[in-house]
């Protein structure tokens, strides 16, 4: 039994003023129980720790989790298991994950379970307790980020004119897999030339050409935890405008990295990078927020953005990823992943940031 998680479950029950919690979000299930399958539900009440899943996962669940695994099937469906759990524990106030549970699923629970239950929406309470990472979690994310760094050094040797963005993305993913990645944090972005002005471009049949900016935004998972990084390089020699844009983005990123620390809000950190980009005349070319948190899921709270009012705390992870995107020309984004500390941050990304001309 993981003692710190056990403490968190008790405080979740207390904070929600609930007698039982039904957890259905796959990432929250994993966080609280250790079960990685994602299919099923948790029932938590008093000392009761029940993990409900089907026969595809019961064996793995038993190995990964210290919770009592109960198999759901046609003869013993999930609603019946919930009813038995409720009867056994006598719970009447039940917390549910309103932010991720489907309406149809919630309707089914309300219709199938006793009428006198009081349903309490958890309003992201579990996500909130995932914000500050433990040392163990930070180590897993650092390992995932190191795999990304290793893959980046390899892809630099592979990129060449004539290769399509799709081929280049496949190569980058292959390099991450070869370095030990369990999976990918999100679909790899490999945007070249004019396509790089779209912050979330999808890799296409377009061939890489001499003089292209190539923006690579990629991440992998290690034991479920995500990495995230972006690097932009130039294929061949950079021109003046490319150099200028790159320098502004890098300056903005380094300025934000030099101020980020516990006690500031996400908006305060965002402003440092945004002001610098604005002063350089590219204010309209940076539309997205400066960064986001990362964990079991790729985009977690709190965010670094103009509306980020949450105060950063030690042990939170944040990406710092300013960008300048000029339609018809191209774009640059540089993204590192850092751990927020009392006095600053610890950067988990080690790939070079000087302008690389391949």
* Residues 233-292 contacting Zn ion, CB under 5 A: none
Question: Taking the complex as a whole, how short is the minimal distance between the CB of residue 309 and Zn ion, in angstroms?
Answer: 20
For residue 210, the minimal CB distance to Zn ion (Å) is 26
127, 150, 172, 237, 328 from 194: Cα distances, Å:
37, 27, 20, 16, 5
Shortest distance (Å) from residue 65 CB to Zn ion: 30
User: Which lies closer to Zn ion via its Cβ, residue 196 or residue 319?
Assistant: 319
Q: Toward Zn ion, which CB reaches closer, 58 or 230?
A: 230
Per CB under 5 A, 305 contacts Zn ion: no
Comparison of 117 and 260: residue with beta carbon closer to Zn ion: 260
**What minimum distance in Å lies between the beta carbon of 101 and Zn ion?**
26
Measured from the CB atom, the residue of 175 and 319 that comes closer to Zn ion is 319
Closest CA to 34 of 5, 76, 77, 9: 5
Helix or strand run (H / E) with residue 176: helix 165-178
d(CA 137, CA 159): 33
Outline where 207-338 has alpha helix (H). 240-259, 266-279
How many residues touch Zn ion under the rule CB under 5 A: the total is: 5
**CA atoms of 169 and 173, how far apart (whole Å):** 6
- CA dist 210 and 235 (Å) reads 5
Shortest distance, position 150 Cβ to Zn ion, whole Å? 17
Instruction: Find the shortest distance in angstroms from Cβ 218 to Zn ion.
Output: 7
What gap in Å lies between CA 358 and CA 352, rounded to an integer?
Answer: 13
Closest distance to Zn ion from the beta carbon of 322 (Å) = 11
Instruction: Tally the residues of the chain.
Output: 358
Q: Distance between CA atoms of 244 and 238, rounded to whole angstroms?
A: 10
CA-based nearest residue to 257, from 274, 273, 242: 273
Backbone angles phi, psi at 299, to 5 degrees: -115, 100
The least CB distance from residue 49 to Zn ion, in Å, is 34
Q: Which residues touch 147 (CB under 8 Å, ≥6 apart)?
A: 176, 179, 180, 181, 220, 222, 227
C-beta of 53 vs 349, nearer to Zn ion: 349
**Closer of 145 and 217 to Zn ion (Cβ):** 217
Residues 171-230 that bind Zn ion (CB under 5 A): 217, 228, 230
Write out the two tokens for 290: 């400066």
137 vs 217, which CB is nearer to Zn ion? Answer: 217
Question: In this complex, which beta carbon is closest to Zn ion, that of residue 12 or of residue 189?
Answer: 189
Binding to Zn ion (CB under 5 A): which residues in 314-333?
319
Q: Which residues bind Zn ion (CB under 5 A)?
A: 217, 228, 230, 319, 335
């Amino acid at each position: 039994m993981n003692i710190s998680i056990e403490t968190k479950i008790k405080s979740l029950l207390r904070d929600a003023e609930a007698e039982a919690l039904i957890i259905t979000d796959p990432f929250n299930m994993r966080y609280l129980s250790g079960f990685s399958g994602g299919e099923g539900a948790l029932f938590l009440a008093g000392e009761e720790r029940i993990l409900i899943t089907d026969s595809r996962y019961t064996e793995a669940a038993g190995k990964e989790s210290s919770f009592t695994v109960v198999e759901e099937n046609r003869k013993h469906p999930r609603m019946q298991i919930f009813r038995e759990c409720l009867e056994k524990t006598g719970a009447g106030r039940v917390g549910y994950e309103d932010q991720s549970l489907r309406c149809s699923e919630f309707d089914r629970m309300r219709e199938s379970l006793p009428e006198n239950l009081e349903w309490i929406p958890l309003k992201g309470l579990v996500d909130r307790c995932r914000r500050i990472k433990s040392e163990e979690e930070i180590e897993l994310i650092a390992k995932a980020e190191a795999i990304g760094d290793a893959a980046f050094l390899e892809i630099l040797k592979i990129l060449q004119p004539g290769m399509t963005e799709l081929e280049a993305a496949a190569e980058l993913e292959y390099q991450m897999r070869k370095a030990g990645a369990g999976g990918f944090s999100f679909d790899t972005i490999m945007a070249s030339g004019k396509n790089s002005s779209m912050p979330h471009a999808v890799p296409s049949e377009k061939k890489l050409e001499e003089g292209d900016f190539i923006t690579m935004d990629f991440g992998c998972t290690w034991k479920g935890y995500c990495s995230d990084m972006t690097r932009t390089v130039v294929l061949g020699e950079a021109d003046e405008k490319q150099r200028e844009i790159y320098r502004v983005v890098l300056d903005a990123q380094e300025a934000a990295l030099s101020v980020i620390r516990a006690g500031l809000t996400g908006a305060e950190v965002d402003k440092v990078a945004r002001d610098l980009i604005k002063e350089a005349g590219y204010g309209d070319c940076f539309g997205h927020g400066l960064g986001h948190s990362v964990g079991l899921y790729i985009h977690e709270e709190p965010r670094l953005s103009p509306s980020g009012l949450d105060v950063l705390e030690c042990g939170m992870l944040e990406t710092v990823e300013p960008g300048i995107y000029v339609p018809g020309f191209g774009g640059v984004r540089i993204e590192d992943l850092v751990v927020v500390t009392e006095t600053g941050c610890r950067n988990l990304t080690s790939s070079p940031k000087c302008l690389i001309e391949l």
